[in-house]
């Protein structure tokens, strides 16, 4: 006999459960997990590197998510970060399951763990990884209209690093429009940074302080 069954069954529930387990794992180990998201080329790896230089007194690790290669993990390891590499082999995001493996590999107690997500402004906003902070790297050359266009991502994050701010004038970036779009969907604070290859880093100190405060709050 044919019948209709109402189930109201959440999808991706498996990921949510694993994310909660990860959250407990990080808390038990006094690790502040930061899910760093952003488009390819937004400056995610450079941001981690600059924050690590600012916060030398806090142990840091990184779980690197890339479709292929281990370039970013190797570079950050040279700088003294503990690292593990996850190659998603085409998958457009990291999920909670792979994070646990990555965390076990770096095996840290006490510190900050960056989870550098796959460069993508869409899919990572669907997958809770068990992080405590969702940090978005949005770069000036991407344009000031992105909060209007990528509502799922901009409404998902806790804090924004607006990178490559030294290019504002060159690309005609309208800061007021960016903030207008962001404020429509999020209360996330914005830290403007400009990081250059020659080591000149502007604005990173404020973002580093923000993360340090989160790290210290975790110990209270």
Partner 1 sequence: MHELPVVLDIVHVMDEEANKNGMKEITRISLVIGELSSIIDESVQMYFEIAAKDHPCEGAKLVFEHRPAMLKCQSCGKEFPHEKNFQCPDCGGDSNLIKGTGREFYILSFDGQ
Q: Which tokens in the block code for residue 150?
A: 């990528």
φ, ψ of residue 173 to 5 degrees: the values are -75, 125
Task: Tell me which residues in 148-207 interact with partner 1 (CB under 8 A).
Answer: 148, 151-152, 155, 180-181, 183-186
- The C-alpha torsion from 99 through 104 and 108 to 110, rounded to 10°, is 60
CA separation for the pair 128, 18 (Å, rounded): 9
Min separation Cβ 10 and partner 1, Å: 5
Min separation Cβ 132 and partner 1, Å: 18
CB within 8 Å of 3: residues ≥ 6 apart: none
> How do 194-195 and 201-202 pair as beta strands?
antiparallel
Nearer to partner 1, 58 or 185 (CB): 185
Buried b / exposed e over 88-125, threshold 16 CB at 10 Å, is: beeeebbbbebbbebbeebebeebbbbbbbbbbbebbb
Min separation Cβ 47 and partner 1, Å: 24
The region, left, alpha or beta by phi > 0 then psi within -120 to 50, assigned to residue 186 is beta
Using CB under 8 A as the binding criterion, the count of chain residues that bind partner 1 stands at 34
Single out the segment in contact with partner 1 by CB under 8 A; choices: 21-29, 62-70, 122-130, 158-166: 122-130
CA separation for the pair 76, 49 (Å, rounded): 7
Task: Tell me which residues in 67-96 interact with partner 1 (CB under 8 A).
Answer: 91-93, 95
Task: Tell me which residues in 41-60 interact with partner 1 (CB under 8 A).
Answer: none
Q: Please select the residue that binds partner 1; options are 54, 126, 166, 205, rule is CB under 8 A.
A: 126
Min separation Cβ 155 and partner 1, Å: 6
Nearer to partner 1, 8 or 68 (CB): 8
Strand-pair partners of 82:
61
Min separation Cβ 153 and partner 1, Å: 9
Single out the segment in contact with partner 1 by CB under 8 A; choices: 23-31, 33-41, 105-113, 115-123: 115-123
Binding residues (CB under 8 A) for partner 1: these are 1-14, 91-93, 95, 120, 122-123, 125-127, 148, 151-152, 155, 180-181, 183-186
């Amino acid at each position: 006999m044919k019948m209709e069954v109402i189930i109201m069954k959440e999808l991706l529930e498996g990921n949510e459960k694993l994310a909660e387990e990860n959250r407990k794992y990080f808390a038990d180990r006094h690790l502040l997990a930061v899910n760093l998201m952003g488009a390819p080329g937004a400056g995610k790896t450079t941001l981690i590197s600059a924050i690590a230089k600012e916060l030398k007194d806090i142990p840091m690790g990184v779980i690197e998510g890339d479709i292929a290669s281990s370039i970013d993990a190797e570079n950050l390891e040279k700088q003294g970060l503990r690292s593990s590499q996850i190659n998603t082999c085409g998958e457009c995001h990291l999920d909670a399951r792979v994070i646990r493996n990555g965390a076990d590999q770096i095996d840290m107690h006490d510190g900050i763990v960056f989870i550098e997500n796959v460069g993508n402004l869409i899919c990572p906003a669907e997958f809770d990884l068990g992080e405590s902070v969702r940090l978005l790297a949005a770069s000036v050359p991407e344009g000031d209209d992105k909060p209007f266009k990528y509502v799922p991502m901009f409404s998902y994050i806790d804090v924004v690093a607006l990178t490559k701010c030294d290019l504002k004038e060159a690309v005609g970036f309208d800061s007021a429009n960016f903030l207008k779009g962001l404020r429509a969907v999020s209360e996330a604070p914005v830290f403007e940074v400009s990081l250059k290859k020659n080591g000149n880093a502007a604005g990173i100190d404020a973002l580093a302080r923000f993360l340090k405060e989160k790290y210290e709050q975790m110990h209270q």
